[in-house]
Structure 1
Amino acid sequence: MSSGQMSQEEIDALLNGTGPVDTAVAEEETAPVDHSIPQETKDILGEVGNISMSQAATTLSQLLNRTIKITTPVVSGVTLKQIIDECEVPKVVTTIGFKEGLVGNNVLMIDVEDAVIIADLMMGNDGKNVEGKEFTELELSAVAEAMNQMMGSASTAMATMFSKKIDILPPSVEVWQSPEEATLENITDESTICKISFQLSVEGLLDSEIMQILPLETANEIVEIMLGDEAEVVQGREQEEMVNETPAPASAPVAPAPEAPKPQESVNVQKPKFQDLEQTGAKSSPRNLDLIMDVPLDFSVVLGKSKKTIKDILSLGTGSVVELDKMTDEPLEIYVNGKLIAEGEVVVINESFGIRITNILSKEQRITHLN
């Protein structure tokens, strides 16, 4: 009260042990912990996430052969407990550790129903009529491959932004069936983490939220790298401006001298210097066969060949027999994308024809065959 006096009702309440509670103390005890992160950090992580995950979405579009749309990311500081309380289980959680370039892990979370659709598309199906389908180890492996390809593309994009090599470890995929199973390595329930949320849609099949979770240590390192690059650029510009704006030293006025005939300018000719490719090629282009493991190739077996004239071809009809240049005991030729790589023999497997490889041709043998 403004007068500093208490009413009779307040006095009676104090005597009975039910007096007014200090609201300031109560609010302080029940106030939620602030897990917010600086706005500058949010902006930087949002920009990095927007570029890297857009590249990841492009890769996923190529894998699924579907149009993928992804929204602008929303960055927030939360705890693992908050994520568990807000999201619905079961969830498919993919953890990808950084091998080089960054510390910590990168975690992607997606609903099981949406993971089933992605797995069905990865296996060459249409992604429809999968409601109620069991999420087995086969689907888990398909989702792991999709997430691995996505984060590989995202890491490549980050490496370009950071001007440094970013390498990742193979993904670890698990399913959170209940909140009790929701744990992340080196992250406690009350640890502050960065949640980057995207709305991911696959044409006519799913429209779901996908969450990217970064430990605070990883997020801070990304911000430091980006701010460091910006500082270097600004510092370089300032030095350049200082050089350009430095006034020329004052000198006494000199009367203009009469123009003399200009002598012919000499031309300095020197041998050009080129960078030695053998020294840097192996270091800058590491071999990574995982990037091309899923590239399809045409595999064909040639039983034999024969040359015919147009007259011979026109005379062919049902029941005609064409003699080939192969003997019955000669090996057949095996081609990959039109290139001869091996020889083999015909076998029968469960009432189907097969080919058993008997010889892998060397480079010299392939050249000899072409000649």
Structure 2
Amino acid sequence: TTLSILISQPVSITTPKVKVITLNKLKESFDIPNVCIEVRFMSGLAGANLLVLKVPDAGIIADLMMGGKGDKKTEELSEIQMSAVSEAMNQMIGTAATSMATMFSREVNISPPDAHIWDNRSQKLSQYIDQDDELVQISFRLTIGKLVDSVIMLLLSMDAAKEVIDAMTAAYKDTSAPVEKEKKQADEAKPASDKKENVKQNKEDVQVHKAEFTPLQEVKQEPKPRNIDLILDVPIEISVILGKSNKTIKDILELNNGSLIELDKLVEEPVDILVNGKMVAQGEVVVVNENFGVRITNIISNEERVKGLKE
């Protein structure tokens, strides 16, 4: 899972339990305090997601995110810990949004996470979901190695849940419609007299004849025109990678004005030139009329490009 990659620990999430409830009723069953992380759908779907975590569990996740061992239990979270947990939950929901976008064949965008500590029953759980509105509660049992064995809760507004159901239903109909259409067309193509003829043939003696085929005539195929001119003006994104560096969440959160990030490229080493995210060439950085530019020094061969796609 995404969370497992972020914290470098085995993560297990059980089959969810789903029910409809209101926030007011839900608050009565909650222990205090909890971490609430709210993410809204900005496009593709409507509504909001609300993730609820126990504070000690959130503290362990935050410690793991920042390179710790997760053995420090806490009842209070610092601002940095809240940011780390928010980022973890944001990555999880972002991955889910990407999967839904693929499933529904539409773009799904989410808002940045809005995290807060819920430590008062009179306090609102959500800024975007009314306390008396019905919502869908999806509960998972979450285990992280031997450190966490708890329940994580995803709350979907009814609008969001209906959007997901409608999109899944539409996707199912789209995949099943062509099969049903072909079957219907095949049935309609059969002449009505077929059944009567079959009955007559069963009553008569079966006669066997040698198969005779009409000789095939050679058909000359004219070469198809290559309409490459039609796509010559299609814009393509070209990007240049100066270098890369791997940092922990802790390192990122500690960045300030003037901080230095060391890249994995040497001074004279060529930079990578990418077209639509695929490397096609290498070059050296130059200055052209007070702007940065790249002089191509090496074109990647087709064989190397194929190898790159397989990696």
Considering the TM-score relative to the shorter chain, is it more than 0.5?
A: yes
Residue in 2 that maps onto 1:108? 51
**Residue identity matched to 2:221:** N
**Residues 1:177 and 1:260: Cα distance change in structure 2 (over 3 Å):** closer
Deviation at 1:200, TM superposition (A): 0.7
Which one of 233, 242, 246 corresponds to residue 296 of structure 1? Answer: 246
1:335–1:210 distance in 2 versus 1, CA, 3 Å: closer
Note the C-alpha offset of 1:85.
0.4
The answer to whether residue 98 in structure 2 is matched with residue 148 in structure 1 is no
- The alpha carbon displacement at 1:117 in A equals 0.3
Measured in 2, the distance between the counterparts of 1:265 and 1:281 equals 43
Q: 1:246 to 1:182 in 2, by over 3 A?
A: same
**What is the DSSP-based 3-state SS (H/G/I as helix, E as strand, rest coil) of the residue aligned with 1:117?**
helix
- Count of residues in Structure 1 that have an aligned counterpart in Structure 2: 244
Determine if contact 1:101/1:167 at 8 Å carries over to the other structure. yes
For 2:268 and 2:76, how far apart are their aligned partners in 1?
41
Residue 264 (structure 2) aligns with: 337
2:221 paired with 1:271? no
- For 1:189 and 1:156, the matched residues in 2 are separated by 29
Q: In the alignment, which residue of structure 2 is the partner of 1:123?
A: 66
Deviations 1:46-76 (A, max 9, x none): xxxxxxxxxxxx1110110000000001110
Task: Decide which of 156, 161, 164 is 2:106's aligned counterpart.
Answer: 164
**Following TM superposition, by how much is the alpha carbon of 1:134 offset from its aligned partner in structure 2, in angstroms?**
3.3
Q: Give me the whole-angstrom Cα distance separating, in 1, the residues matched to 2:104 and 2:162.
A: 14
Q: Deviations over 1:325-371 (max 9, x none)?
A: xxxxxxxxx972134389xxxxxxxxxxxxxxxxxxx7137988x99
Give 1:24's aligned residue.
none
- CA-to-aligned-CA distance 1:88-144 (integer Å, 9 cap, x gap): 11110010111110111111110001000000001100000x234631111111111
CA–CA distance in structure 1, aligned partners of residues 262 and 213 of structure 2: 77
* SS at 1:213 equivalent: strand
C-alpha distance in 1 between matches for 2:77 and 2:129: 27
Distance across 1 between alignment mates of 2:16 and 2:74: 30
TM-score normalized by the length of structure 2: 0.69
Superposition pairs for residues 92-107 of structure 1, below 5 Å?
A: 92-107=35-50
C-alpha distance in 2, partners of 1:278/1:64?
45
**Aligned equivalents of 1:88, 1:79: Cα separation in 2:** 16
Change (3 A) 1:240 1:295: farther
Normalising by structure 1, we get a TM-score of 0.58
**Which piece of structure 1 moves more, 177-186 or 62-71?**
177-186
Shift of 1:160: 1.4
Aligned residue type for 1:66: Q
Q: Distance in 1 between matches of 2:232 and 2:151?
A: 45
Match of 1:60 in 2: 3
**Unmatched 5+ residue regions in structure 1?**
1-57, 288-293, 298-333, 343-361
Distance 1:335 1:221 in 2: 45
CA distance in 2 between counterparts of 1:185 and 1:175 reads 13
Paired residue type of 1:364: V
Against the structure 1 CA distance between its residues 295 and 95, is the aligned structure 2 distance closer, same or farther, given a 3 Å change threshold?
farther
Select the residue among 11, 15, 27 that pairs with 1:72: 15
User: Could you say if the C-alpha distance between residues 133 and 175 of structure 1 is closer, same or farther in structure 2, counting changes exceeding 3 Å?
Assistant: closer
The SS at the match of 1:75 is strand
Provide, for residues 304-337 of structure 1, a one-character-per-residue CA deviation record: whole Å limited to 9, x for no partner. xxxxxxxxxxxxxxxxxxxxxxxxxxxxxx9721
More strand by share: 2
- Other-structure match for 1:246: 188
The partner residue of 1:363 within 266, 280, 285 is 285
In the aligned structure 2, how far is the partner of 1:114 from the partner of 1:179? 20
Match of 2:215 among 256, 262, 271: 262
Matches of 2:233 and 2:245 in 1, distance apart?
28
Q: 2:24 pairs with 77, 81, 94, which one? A: 81
**Secondary structure of 2:35's aligned partner:** strand
- For 2:109 and 2:214, locate their aligned partners in 1 and report how far apart those are by CA, in whole Å: 64
Q: Residue type of the partner of 1:228? A: A
Distance in structure 1 (CA, Å) of the matches to 2:117 and 2:232: 47
Q: 1:225 to 1:335 in 2, by over 3 A?
A: closer
CA–CA distance in 1 between the matches of 2:68 and 2:233? 45
Aligned mates of 1:278, 1:207 — CA distance in 2? 56
| Aligned amino acid, residue 134 of structure 1 | E
Q: SS in structure 2 opposite 1:125?
A: coil
What's the CA shift string for 1:197-245, capped at 9, x where partnerless?
A: 0011100101110000011111111111111222233332221101122
Structure 1 residues 295 and 78: alpha-carbon distance in aligned structure 2, compared to 1, 3 A threshold: farther
With CA pairs under 8 Å and 6+ residues apart, which has the higher RCO, 1 or 2? 2
Amino acid of the residue matched to residue 206 of structure 1? V
